[in-house]
Structure 1
Amino acid sequence: MLERYDLALIEHFARWLPFGGPSAQTVFEEFGIPLETAYRRMLALTEPKVLKRVPSEHLKSLTAVAAYRVTLVRNVRRASSTRR
């Protein structure tokens, strides 16, 4: 089982997903960490050995957030490569 902190982070990201993800302000207010640190923590939570420990009711949220972030990064990379 994951720590409450990690589960809360997953839920926070999932709640803000329809709006493009959480802002730096909401992440800092809720968790006391910079947004970049939160994204790194979320990335770590997508590791296969960690996913096995995620309760099923949170797995869908984590998967949605991870998929959104991957798509966003891919689009940013495409956009920056076409500008060169």
Structure 2
Amino acid sequence: MNWEDNRAEEIKTLTAKGVIPVEYDMENMEDVDDDTMDNARPFLMGKVAAVVNEKKSAKAIVDELVGDAATLLKKGNQMLAKL
């Protein structure tokens, strides 16, 4: 909440440079071990992470997305009334 309430401009600056704000904080804190850093990341994933249950390559994900979209578009096309 500190980031959102007090450091919004800093978020914009860091993310523009490709830096994740929470990692920036972790790297600049003293006495932070690797486990603490690893445990900070899951909070950044949001609700969608709860439904991910397998690892896939980016190619497999894109192929599945395109295939599903093509199937749904074909089904939608069949539902159109002929004039």
- TM-score w.r.t. the length of structure 2 is 0.30
Q: Which has the larger radius of gyration?
A: 2
* Greater RCO, 1 or 2 (C-alpha within 8 Å, sep 6+): 1
- TM-score w.r.t. the length of structure 1 is 0.30
More helix by share: 1
